[in-house]
Structures are given as C-alpha cells and as structure tokens.
Structure 1
C-alpha cells in the first residue's frame, strides 16, 4: 500500500506544484494555460515512468508466463492514483478553457452542464482511465495468480507515446504548432504510438509463440478466449486513436503545403 500512498501524493503534487509555478512565473498566462500545461506535463511524467518500469519488466522476464518482477504490482499501485486524478485534471483544463472561450470576466461555477460537456468531449479518454482502474488494476493485482508479468510490462510500455503527445499539445497551447520542433514531435508521436500501442500486440503473440514453439498464426488458438477478447478490446481504441492522429497529421501537412511562401505564393 506504500506505493499507492506515494502515487496519491506524487501526482497531485506534480500537478499543483507546476500549476502554481506557472501562474507565478508566466504572469500573462491564463488559468486555462496553466491548467492545461500542468496536466500535460503530469501525463508526460507518468508516461515516462510507466515506460521505464514496463521496459525493465519486459527485458528481465525470460519466461513470459512464470517469471516475476517486483515492479509490476508496485507500479500498478503507484500509477492508480494518477488515473483517477488525471480525470480531475482534464476536467479542470476543460473548465478553464470553456470559461476563456466564453469571454467571461468572472468565474463561472461548476455545474452538471460543465461536467456533461466534459464527458461528451472526452468520454473515450475518461472511459480508458476508468477501465484501467476498474478492470486492468484488479486483474493485475488479484486475478493473475502471479502469472504474466512480461505481458503487464509490455502493456506499461504503451505509455511511451504519451510524453510526445503531451509535448505536441503543449506546443499548440503555446502557439508553436507551425515550428520544426512541432513537426518532428508529430513524427515521433506517430512512430511511438504505432510501435508501442499497435505493433506491441503481434510482438507479444510472437514472444508467446516462441515459448510454446508453435507458429504465430496458431498461438491465438493456444490462448484462453478471454485473453484474446481482452487484447482485442484494448487494441481497438488504439487503432481508432492512431487513425485520428493520421488524419490530424494529414491536415497539418496540407495546411503547410497551402501556406504562402516569402513571396506570397503558395507552395502547391
């Protein structure tokens, strides 16, 4: 339980500490700027820690089913408060951004309408966080019977793309979306997301097939049905998000192609 308490202190501390520092340092920033950048940096910190923990676990497990690593349960407990707190942090960003768009000079109170608007906009992310808390965490801690630490480590590495996603959103928040840095970061988002959230699944099946000494095409038939269905349920939103990222990248590319050059001429 010490890991759970540490996470409950660490992630809110990072968020509120950054938010306070930004408001003191960047006096021209709005509450929305400070809240959004703080939430995204907190997500980047969690993503970096999760990826490091997952990589350590995956590399140390030779037997993908029976080898154990002390980091697995401890990091799942440590990261659980982040999943709960990040829902609040995302809502705070939405709330302050909505106030800014409304042009309201005085604070508007929280209401069911603001909560409903947040859930309508970010329902998939909220569902993702809730599912990790109510499904992934109990399975990892109580129902695995100590098996499959390698696969849990692999799932933890899916957060490797999160720091790049967060950096991209911060650059947009700072109005730096037309810079070379933003374009390079966008490529890193696509690369890390595809490798760590989509290619990860055939990689795990391949590792399991090598241990069973069966072909990759046959390994799914050697796994319980609920494992295959669980992997499919996790993979489906990753493919959906990746397609959204590709559409966004295409829009940015087309916008850059239509941008006027120094002589006032368009590039296409």
Structure 2
C-alpha cells in the first residue's frame, strides 16, 4: 500500500513535469499554457490506459463475480488515490493558466473560486471517489466483489479518446477526419464503458445468483445501489453533453463552424 502510494505520488506529477519540459524542447514556439494543457491530457490518458488494462486483467481473472480475488483490484486503488489528488490540482492549474487574462496574475481565492464554479461537478466526482469509494473498495466491502472493482476501472477506456479530441482541437485539427473518427470512438466507448457498464454489472450479479436482473437492487446492500447511482448520474450528464457536441460536429460544415 504505502509503496504504491509513494510511487504513484511521484509518477504522475513527474510525468507531467517531464512532458512540459520535453514539449519545451520539441516545440519551443509553444506557449507555456499550451504545453501545460497538452501535458495534462497526456498524463490523463496514461492513467486511463493503466486503469483500463488493470480492470480488464481483474475481470478476466475473476470467474466468480462475487468471491474471486485478484490483487490488482486492491492495489490499483492506491494508484488512483494520488492520481485524483494530482488531477484536482492540475485541473485548477490549467484553469488558472487559461484564465490569466481575466483573473489576477497570482494564485488567489478568486482564482480558486472561479475554478470551483466552473468545474464543480468534476471536482465533486473526484472527491466522491476519494472520500466514499476508496474506503468502500478497500475496507467496507470485505473480500467480495473484485470483479466489480475491475469493471469500474474499465470505465476509464473512453478517457484517452476524450483527451485526444481535446488535443486535436488544441492543435486546430477539429475539421480533420481523425477528429471525426475519434468523436465516434468517444461516443461508443463512453456509452459502453460508462453507461452500459452499470446494467452489465447488475446482469453479471443476477446471472451468478440465478435471479432476474430486476431483483438485483433488492438483493444487494442499499449502499451499493446508492454508490452506483451516484457514479452513473454524472456520466449520463456528460454523455448528453458529448452527444450535443457530436451533433454540432457532424451536422455543421467546416465553413459554418469557422464563422
């Protein structure tokens, strides 16, 4: 636990700093703000890939979805904890750099307040994972449910595509075929891994217990239903936003989008 926490606490900030420095050498014409934004998205993609691979490994190694154990289901949570703390700070740091023209040049309560107003849902989501889901995943569930922890890890599959979409927009490549294909991948992976994932977990439990899927909410502890509802609610909101962006992307001509 402590070794994993220490390594992850150094790895993500170190990777971010290395990326910013490397982009300074590779693209000296880029502003510091551009290098910071791109680096934050690259680190996010790295973590998401690590989480997805870990989740797939856990899921494939847990044939009994309730009782089977696999070490990554516990160990990778200790990677997520420092990442979430790092990511909250980096989100603020990116917001401050993007808003320097309208905010004070130095960090202040005003800049923190502006960040929290703009990204309150994402910050709440991160804090929910840290304060609620981490204790549940590591202690309160006992030795049950590694399969479902692995499923939650797989939810990160859409993140690299979301990050790539932002990077392409940052590079002024939003009218390219790559951006449109990536948009389709965002929709598909987000829908499957952040929306369909939750009914799938209920179906897997129902199949294991030999009960109808509609009986699962009454067969599992109430806090499991509350946790799942708390996780899927923001995903549904973000999916609606993604769909709206997709409609604009695929229905507007390049000339219309440039007006």
- Tell me the TM-score range normalised by the shorter chain: over 0.9
The CA distance in 1 between the partners of 2:116 and 2:256, in whole Å, is: 35
In structure 2, list runs of 5 or more residues that go unmatched: none
The aligned residue for residue 181 of structure 1 is: 178
The CA distance in 2 between the partners of 1:31 and 1:128, in whole Å, is: 28
The alignment status of 1:51 with 2:48, answered yes or no, reads no
The CA distance in 2 between the partners of 1:226 and 1:83, in whole Å, is: 22
What is the deviation of 1:18? 0.1
The aligned residue for residue 245 of structure 2 is: 248
Residue number among 199, 202, 207 corresponding to 1:202 in the alignment: 199
1:1-268 aligned within 5 A? 1-99=2-100, 101-102=101-102, 108-256=105-253, 259=256
Deviations 1:51-97 (A, max 9, x none): 00011101110111111001111110022111000111111111111
The CA distance in 2 between the partners of 1:180 and 1:75, in whole Å, is: 35
The CA distance in 1 between the partners of 2:198 and 2:191, in whole Å, is: 11
What is the deviation of 1:208? 0.5
The CA distance in 2 between the partners of 1:83 and 1:136, in whole Å, is: 12
Which runs of structure 1 show a deviation greater than 6 angstroms over 4 or more consecutive aligned residues?
A: none
CA contact (8 A) 2:67 2:145 kept: yes
Larger radius of gyration: 1
Deviations 1:3-23 (A, max 9, x none): 111101111111110011112
The normalised TM-score by structure 2 is 0.95
What is the deviation of 1:256? 2.4
CA gap of 1:112–1:75, structure 2 versus 1, over 3 A, is same
Aligned CA-pair RMSD: 1.6
The normalised TM-score by structure 1 is 0.92
